[in-house]
């Protein structure tokens, strides 16, 4: 008599037991909630601004949010991959400053062509990030300490080049900084903003449709489990810091277009703005959960807060920091509550 193989019952998603009409799993809802809150807050602020201030609701105003924060957007994309992997990178602002100093020095004092300088500084930033990633992975050092050392190193090297600001008068930099691409009607977008959007699109593709992106999420979720699954944990850790170094250098190039100068104190504290944008965009600081699109909205959120305060005209610019700090408290608390709720289920 032949044995009859038992029929396996279909797997039921957590949180969907007992109802054929249950919503998405709790874990999925929890992952999407911070992003949904960020998008909702952005729409709410845009609506309030449009009602309170005439002229706020225009395409150019919203494009200016990206134009003025293009370099931050690029840096934040690299930071998102680092935080998704469970790490942190405090060197991004210093790498931007170092990029501007090297660019200004080579172009203005040594007569290099911008088309020679830009690939060079991108390579330097990429190698700098790869070196920090190697130290973190090879010697199991804390990312906070390694990238803090990288921040001091890059800022110090800026002072070796020059302690004063170096203005860039090169025609290529001037033309690229003033270049505007028409969008609709009188609205236009800068080259830096277009590059930032391309970086976001590539970041979304890498994060969700490549083996490297899947490995980043796995390492951030549980590094030991990723090892047992046979994923390239070592290469992934080095890769995210390499990518962050490249994005920092590219952000430095865009910052050079924006400021047309090199200075060792450029982008001071920008690493904190990048982390704030990533967290407000819904990425968990513990790693493994987050979206590149959320980071874009996080950057836009910082920009719209600053724009609303500027339109008001009676508030100090420091209110931007106060509001961003309050938002960070709210999002960190929400992440904590969602994590505890997911563990209970």
Would 99 be classed as within a structural domain? yes
Residue 1 has pLDDT above 80, yes or no: no
> Which residue segment(s) compose the domain that 214 sits in?
71-268+282-293
**Range 114-122, long-range pairs (CB < 8 A, 24+ positions):** 114/170, 114/172, 114/173, 115/172, 118/253, 121/249, 121/252, 121/253, 122/246, 122/249, 122/250, 122/253
Tokens coding 11: 């797997």
Has residue 105 been placed in a domain? Answer: yes
- Whether 70 shows a pLDDT value over 90: the answer reads yes
Most confident of 28-32, 51-55, 77-81, 312-316: 77-81
* Percentage of residues in the chain having pLDDT higher than 90: 68
pLDDT tens digits along 182-197? 988 788 999 999 999 9
18: pLDDT strictly greater than 50: no
Give mean pLDDT, residues 59-74. 93
pLDDT of residue 30: 57
- Residue 332 domain flag: no
> What separation in angstroms does the CA of 125 have from each of 19, 92, 298?
53, 9, 24
Q: Is the pLDDT of residue 36 over 70?
A: yes
pLDDT the model gives residue 343: 59
Mean pLDDT, rounded, for 313-322: 80
Number of neighbouring beta carbons within 10 Å of residue 252: 32
- On the question of pLDDT at 68 being above 50, the answer is yes
Q: Is residue 221 part of a domain?
A: yes
pLDDT of residue 2: 43
Q: How far apart (Å, rounded) are the C-alpha atoms in residues 87 and 107?
A: 35
Q: Is residue 4 part of a domain?
A: no
Question: Does residue 66 form part of some domain?
Answer: no
- pLDDT (mean) for 321-339: 83
**Tens digits of residue pLDDT in 208-230:** 999 999 999 999 999 999 999 99
Give the integer Cα–Cα distance in Å for 74 and 204: 12
* pLDDT attached to residue 20: 37
Is the confidence at residue 330, as pLDDT, over 90?
A: no
d(CA 157, CA 218): 36
Q: Which of 31-45, 253-267, 309-323 has the lowest mean pLDDT?
A: 309-323
286 located within any domain: yes
Mean pLDDT of 307-331: 83
Q: Say what the pLDDT of residue 4 is.
A: 43
Assess whether pLDDT exceeds 70 at residue 298. yes
To the nearest whole number, what is the mean pLDDT of the chain? 88
Is residue 58 a part of any domain in this protein? no
CB 71 within 8 A of CB 329: no
Mean pLDDT of 58-73: 92
In terms of pLDDT, which residue wins out, 87 or 343? 87
Higher pLDDT, 286 or 139: 139
Query: Number of structural domains, the chain?
Result: 1
Per-residue confidence band for 105, with pLDDT thresholds at 50, 70 and 90: very high
């Amino acid at each position: 008599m032949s044995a009859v193989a038992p029929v396996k019952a279909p797997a039921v998603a957590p949180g969907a037991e007992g109802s054929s009409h249950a919503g998405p799993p709790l874990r999925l809802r929890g992952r999407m909630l911070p992003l949904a809150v960020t998008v909702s807050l952005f729409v709410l602020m845009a609506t309030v601004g449009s009602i309170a201030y005439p002229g706020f609701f225009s395409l150019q105003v919203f494009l200016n949010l990206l134009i003025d924060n293009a370099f931050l957007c690029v840096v934040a994309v690299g930071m998102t991959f680092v935080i998704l992997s469970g790490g942190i990178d405090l060197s991004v602002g210093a790498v931007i400053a170092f990029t501007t100093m090297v660019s200004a020095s080579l172009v203005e004092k040594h007569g290099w062509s911008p088309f020679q300088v830009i690939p060079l500084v991108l390579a330097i930033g990429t190698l700098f990030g790869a070196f920090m990633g190697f130290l973190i992975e090879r010697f199991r050092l804390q990312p906070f300490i390694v990238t803090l050392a990288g921040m001091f190193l890059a800022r110090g090297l800026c002072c070796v080049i020059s302690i004063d600001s170096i203005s860039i008068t090169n025609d290529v930099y001037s033309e690229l900084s003033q270049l505007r691409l028409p969008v609709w009607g009188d609205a236009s977008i800068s080259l830096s903003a277009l590059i930032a959007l391309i970086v976001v699109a590539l970041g979304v593709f890498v994060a969700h449709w490549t083996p490297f992106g899947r490995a980043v999420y796995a390492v951030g979720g549980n590094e030991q489990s990723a090892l047992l699954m046979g994923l390239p944990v070592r290469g992934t850790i080095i890769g995210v810091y390499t990518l962050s170094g490249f994005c920092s250098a590219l952000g430095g190039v865009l910052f050079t277009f924006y400021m047309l100068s090199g200075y060792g104190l450029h982008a001071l504290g920008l690493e904190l703005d990048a982390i704030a944008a990533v967290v407000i965009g819904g990425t968990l600081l513990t790693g493994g959960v987050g979206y590149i699109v959320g980071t874009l909205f996080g950057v836009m959120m910082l920009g719209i807060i600053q724009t609303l305060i500027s339109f008001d005209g009676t508030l100090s610019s420091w209110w931007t920091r106060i509001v961003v700090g309050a938002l960070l408290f709210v999002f960190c608390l929400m992440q904590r509550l969602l994590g505890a709720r997911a563990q209970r289920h």
